[in-house]
Structure 1
């Protein structure tokens, strides 16, 4: 199989996952909102890059991932999806030190720091996310979100930057650990709490099953992302932290054989997640809440896959918002 013949829908078609495939009824207004945000607080990006983000239909991504949320609750969740997407994309060529600097400032804002006149619109969006969630979620929940954002950025995006800079790949064993974090998806796990008006106690949150579910959930989304975005990543040599590329380089596999192995890893993780959902331990009075959260976690996986397949040009190599290294507009 040649890279140009690769089609992700041959591996992850719509409806591949065993959860509902829905879309938030506020999707139209969400589209108006996010294009407004791009033109208001992301003006440090070049006009070309802003237009590319508008064409990606990121409101449909948020609407599919959080189909059960009210407009009030989905707004900061949607704002976070746009914020995270731009953050992740525009770090493509960043050094480990740059990632660390952006992370520290963002975490400080999430934890309550006031904005300064020097803070660009990107950080204004972070403060709005914090304040909008603060209207209906407890302070301890926001602390979890901030701490988790730090964890995935420090041990994911920051660690990944070194491999991108040197164009090397880790072993498959190490990659599996790093990719779980570098997909920077753990915070989305907690956004489902906000979707369902839920806040798990520390005792439930720390339960080994919940921790294992979070790990599997993040990995599945990472493998899904790697499979859906592979054509974009094969079009340039800058992206090496993709499970298919890691398998190819470590084991000298053809693209087709690497895809077979990648799908096996994906499907094994998916089978374990579904098995845990079907045989939950006793969470006492939180049992129904945990079941509801599983619905949200699963719907997010399903919705994200549908978004990739039918709603966006995001991973078209010609449409992706590559950072423009020839200008200063990529400064976060």
Structure 2
């Protein structure tokens, strides 16, 4: 297969998943908000990066994934979508100690520290996100969100670095463990509890069936991302953290064969998730909580697939829609 002939919709078409495909009614205002943040707050980005982030329409990802949020609820979720994507993109070439500092400082701000006037929007918006979530979510949920943010940076972005430096992918077995964190989805999964209003208590979150279902949710989104982002990553030439690339190298597969195998792995995880949800019904008074968590997470999976296919230029062939790290105009 010629890389230019690769189309992710051939593997994951619109409405692929067994959940509703919806759009938040506040999507237009959410777009205006995000464009204003990019223009007025994210001053460390270059002008080209600002243009490209606007064309990515990341607010539509928020709107597709969480269509039932009120506007008040959507604001911090939308703000975090931009903050987290920019953070991940722009640390691509950062040293490990720089990423560690960013993780430590952002976590401290989420836990109550105030950013200084010299700190850029990645830190300023963390304080706003914290305060906006605390206005309508209980402390137990806020702490879970913070912990999810911490572990995805610590065990996702930071653990990728040695492999990226060596330009050598891990084995398929190890990659599947690391990718669960590097896809950065754990914090986003907590947003479904905002929609449902049903907060999973600790003893339910610790249940092995729930833990496995959360792992599967994250893995499904990771494989989905790897399939849809492949055109952008083929252009870079040095990307190694993609399931299709790992399968190609480990099993000596063609691009077409590796893509088909990636879809098979994706579908196997999806089937397991649905099977676990259907078979295990032993959560008693918290059964509705678990069902709603999976339902709203499923809408998120369907929604981000729609975003990839219909709403964004982020993953265009040749990497033309991606905001690659550049020398910034302003720190």
- For Structure 1 versus Structure 2, the TM-score category normalised by the shorter chain is over 0.9
Tell me how far apart the structure 2 counterparts of residues 242 and 7 of structure 1 sit (CA, whole Å): 16
Q: Please state how far the C-alpha of 1:318 moved relative to its aligned partner.
A: 0.9
Tell me how far apart the structure 1 counterparts of residues 284 and 74 of structure 2 sit (CA, whole Å): 29
Work out whether residues 60 and 311 of structure 2, in 8 Å CA contact, stay in contact via their aligned partners in 1: yes
User: Which residue of structure 2 lines up, in the alignment, with residue 59 of structure 1?
Assistant: 59
Q: Secondary structure at the match of 1:315?
A: coil
Answer with 282-291 or 76-85: which moved more.
Answer: 282-291
User: What do the CA deviations read for 1:212-257 (whole angstroms, capped 9, x no partner)?
Assistant: 1110111110000000000110111231100000111112111011
User: What do the CA deviations read for 1:107-135 (whole angstroms, capped 9, x no partner)?
Assistant: 11111111222221221111111000000
Q: Please state how far the C-alpha of 1:210 moved relative to its aligned partner.
A: 1.3
Equivalent residues in 2 for 1:22-101 (5 A)? 22-101=22-101
Equivalent residues in 2 for 1:38-187 (5 A)? 38-187=38-187
- How high is the TM-score relative to the length of structure 1? 0.96
Q: Secondary structure at the match of 1:31?
A: helix
User: Which residue of structure 2 lines up, in the alignment, with residue 299 of structure 1?
Assistant: 299
Q: Please state how far the C-alpha of 1:328 moved relative to its aligned partner.
A: 3.5
Q: Please state how far the C-alpha of 1:75 moved relative to its aligned partner.
A: 1.2
Answer with 126-135 or 157-166: which moved more.
Answer: 157-166
User: Which residue of structure 1 lines up, in the alignment, with residue 226 of structure 2?
Assistant: 226
Q: Please state how far the C-alpha of 1:189 moved relative to its aligned partner.
A: 1.0
Q: Secondary structure at the match of 2:210?
A: helix
Tell me how far apart the structure 1 counterparts of residues 239 and 322 of structure 2 sit (CA, whole Å): 13
Q: 2:324 aligns with which of 310, 322, 325?
A: 322
Tell me how far apart the structure 2 counterparts of residues 319 and 250 of structure 1 sit (CA, whole Å): 29
Q: Secondary structure at the match of 1:229?
A: helix
User: Which residue of structure 1 lines up, in the alignment, with residue 6 of structure 2?
Assistant: 6
Aligned residues: 329
User: What do the CA deviations read for 1:164-205 (whole angstroms, capped 9, x no partner)?
Assistant: 121101000000000000001101111111222222211112
Equivalent residues in 2 for 1:247-286 (5 A)? 247-286=247-286
User: Which residue of structure 1 lines up, in the alignment, with residue 313 of structure 2?
Assistant: 313
Structure 2: stretches of 5+ with no match in the other structure: none
Q: Please state how far the C-alpha of 1:97 moved relative to its aligned partner.
A: 2.1
Structure 1 residues 154 and 329: CA distance shift in structure 2, 3 A: farther
Give structure 1 regions of 4+ aligned residues with deviation exceeding 3 angstroms: 328-331
- How high is the TM-score relative to the length of structure 2? 0.97
